[in-house]
């Protein structure tokens, strides 16, 4: 039994709040038994610093992508590979997170992967296509594993403040993405036009986060055994796949924004720094939407309308940025942020609501993240390829519409008030 479950089942414990389960992440029941440190201010600061570093490697590339293409001779297809590889790694390495945590210990695994993230970010400072690609792989691996482990640590060490820490974690993650999107091009110009220096700059906060996290590393102990469970049936359940598709396809649009919204706006005539600021504002709007969406989505009998509206706002915002008059772009940037922030929060909420207990939710989360993030990588890649083939943004806009339609259909299915058919048995 996890610490959170003990807390809920203890005599006199407060009634279980469903929002606590939002922090269940990939196979948390498979993580090593914790050596728990005091959940004090330093731990909160450490977690916030880590969350801040989980998106800059992704959101900093788009604002300087035009300079990278011009200086290195990369095609749009080759550039799209740089935006795609880290997202692929989120899914592939995220599925390895429980295994890595069992081998190293959760805290040491986070430290090791923070250093991998810092190394990958620093490699981009070499400025060659090969260094950019290897750096993208390392950064994606570091983010993918840490992405999975960090919510488990939060749930373990803050069992009675999970909802609050969910908000703090989400805000820090979005803030890191927004700052990197808005500041990378100004940093490049301050460095004499060196986009390589600007990309490598984001190594600094990653190293700071690793240094602070060192204070949370517990003494080495023999691994404590713990009872686990096996969850069967998810991979053949249609509802589980609908949840996974909604998670993956809404993520596909989100990472397409990270990689391509700034180049789209710049091609339309928006000045480079202004384009980065627009992406930054769109990401910051996601924070408010993500905090409000779960409570609104759970007020009705089901979440079908909420999932559909999320995709309507997301596609409308993206299309507005591509096709609407340039004078209205700020409006569409905000609409896009509302849709994407709400979609991410609703996707997490569906994982919980479609599961009958914490074990099923943990495994459904693992499935939806592992498969979903791998699926999400196709969005940035295809947008780059379509732009390369056609020389414009109309075809990528049609792709965005197609992704939105399929995601909306998956959301309608996943939003039904049902639960996945899964069998939980002790190991």
Per-block average pLDDT, block size 10, for the chain (427 residues)?
Answer: 38 39 41 48 90 90 88 81 84 81 86 96 93 94 84 70 66 86 92 94 96 86 52 88 94 86 91 88 86 82 93 96 94 95 86 77 76 84 88 94 96 93 76
Largest CA distance in the chain: 66
Can you give the pLDDT at residue 228? 56
Contacts 24+ apart (CB under 8 A), 189-197: 189/273, 193/67, 194/127, 195/64, 195/67, 195/68, 195/71, 195/127, 196/124, 196/125, 196/126, 196/127, 197/125
Can you spell out the DSSP letters for 84-105?
HHHHHHHHHHHTTHHHHHHHH-
Contact residues for 204 (Cβ-Cβ < 8 A; gap 6+): none
> What CA–CA distance (Å, rounded) separates 158 from 343?
25
Q: What does the pLDDT look like over 376-414, one tens digit per residue? A: 888 888 898 898 889 899 999 999 999 999 999 999 999
Structure tokens that stand for 330 in this block: 């700020």
**Superfamily classification of domain 17-426:** MFS general substrate transporter like domains (1.20.1250.20)
Can you give the pLDDT at residue 427? 63
The pTM (predicted TM-score) of the whole model is: 0.73
> What CA–CA distance (Å, rounded) separates 343 from 249?
10
Domain ranges of the chain: 17-426
Can you give the pLDDT at residue 362? 66
- What is the number of alpha carbons within 13 Å of residue 4 lying toward its C-beta? 27
Secondary structure of the chain: what % helix, strand, coil (to 5)? 75, 0, 20
CA 260 → CA 50, 121, 310, 345, distances in Å?
25, 19, 20, 22
Structure tokens that stand for 150 in this block: 């960090």
Tell me 55's DSSP state.
S
Can you give the pLDDT at residue 27? 42
| Residues 314/404, Cβ–Cβ less than 8 Å | yes
Question: What is the phi-psi region of residue 233: left when phi exceeds 0, alpha when psi lies from -120 to 50, beta otherwise?
Answer: left
Can you give the pLDDT at residue 166? 62
Structure tokens that stand for 371 in this block: 């498969």
Can you give the pLDDT at residue 415? 94
| Residues 317/339, Cβ–Cβ less than 8 Å | yes
Q: What does the pLDDT look like over 201-255, one tens digit per residue? A: 999 999 999 999 998 888 765 444 444 567 788 889 999 999 999 999 998 998 8
Can you spell out the DSSP letters for 307-366?
HHHHHHHHHHHHHHHHHS-GGGHHHHHHHHHHHHHHHHHHHHHHHHHT-SSHHHHHHHHH
| Residues 216/153, Cβ–Cβ less than 8 Å | no
Can you give the pLDDT at residue 52? 93
| Residues 178/283, Cβ–Cβ less than 8 Å | yes
Q: Determine phi and psi for 424, rounding to 5 degrees.
A: -110, 120
Can you give the pLDDT at residue 334? 96
Can you give the pLDDT at residue 358? 63
């Amino acid at each position: 039994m996890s610490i959170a479950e003990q807390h809920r089942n203890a005599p006199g414990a407060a009634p279980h709040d469903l929002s606590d389960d939002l922090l269940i992440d990939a196979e948390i029941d498979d993580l090593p038994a914790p050596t728990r440190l005091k959940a004090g201010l330093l731990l909160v600061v450490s977690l916030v610093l880590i969350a801040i570093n989980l998106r800059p490697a992704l959101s900093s590339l788009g604002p300087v992508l035009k300079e990278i293409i011009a200086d290195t001779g990369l095609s749009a297809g080759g550039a799209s590979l740089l935006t795609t590889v880290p997202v692929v790694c989120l899914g592939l390495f995220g599925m390895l997170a429980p295994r890595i945590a069992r081998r190293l210990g959760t805290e040491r695994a986070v430290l090791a992967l923070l250093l991998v993230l810092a190394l990958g970010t620093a490699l981009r400072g070499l400025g060659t296509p090969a260094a950019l690609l290897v750096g993208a792989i390392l950064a994606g691996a570091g983010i993918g594993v840490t992405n999975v482990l960090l919510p488990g640590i939060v749930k373990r060490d803050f069992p009675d403040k999970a909802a609050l820490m969910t908000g703090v974690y989400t805000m820090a993650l979005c803030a890191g993405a927004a700052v990197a999107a808005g500041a990378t091009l100004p940093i490049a110009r301050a460095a004499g036009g060196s986009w390589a220096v600007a990309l490598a700059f984001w190594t600094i906060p990653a190293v700071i986060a690793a240094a602070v996290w060192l204070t949370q590393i517990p003494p080495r102990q023999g691994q404590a055994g713990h009872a686990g469970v096996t969850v069967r049936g998810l991979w053949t359940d249609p509802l589980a796949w609908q949840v996974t598709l909604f998670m993956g396809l809404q993520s596909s649009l989100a990472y397409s924004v990270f990689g391509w919204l700034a180049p789209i706006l710049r091609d339309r005539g928006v000045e480079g720094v202004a384009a980065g600021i627009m992406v930054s504002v769109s990401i910051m709007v996601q924070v408010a939407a993500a905090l409000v969406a779960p409570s609104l989505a759970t007020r009705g009998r089901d979440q079908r309308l909420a999932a559909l509206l999320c995709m309507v706002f997301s596609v409308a915002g993206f299309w507005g940025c591509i096709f609407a008059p340039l004078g209205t772009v700020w409006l569409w940037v905000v609409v896009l942020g509302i849709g994407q922030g709400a979609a991410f929060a609703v996707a997490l909420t569906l994982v919980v609501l479609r599961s009958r207990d914490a074990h099923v939710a943990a495994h459904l989360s693992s499935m939806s993240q592992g498969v979903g993030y791998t699926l999400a990588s196709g969005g940035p890649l295809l947008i780059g390829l379509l732009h390369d083939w056609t020389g414009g943004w109309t075809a990528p806009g049609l792709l965005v519409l197609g992704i939105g339609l399929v995601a909306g259909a998956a959301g309608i299915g996943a939003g039904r008030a049902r639960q996945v058919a899964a069998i939980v048995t002790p190991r």
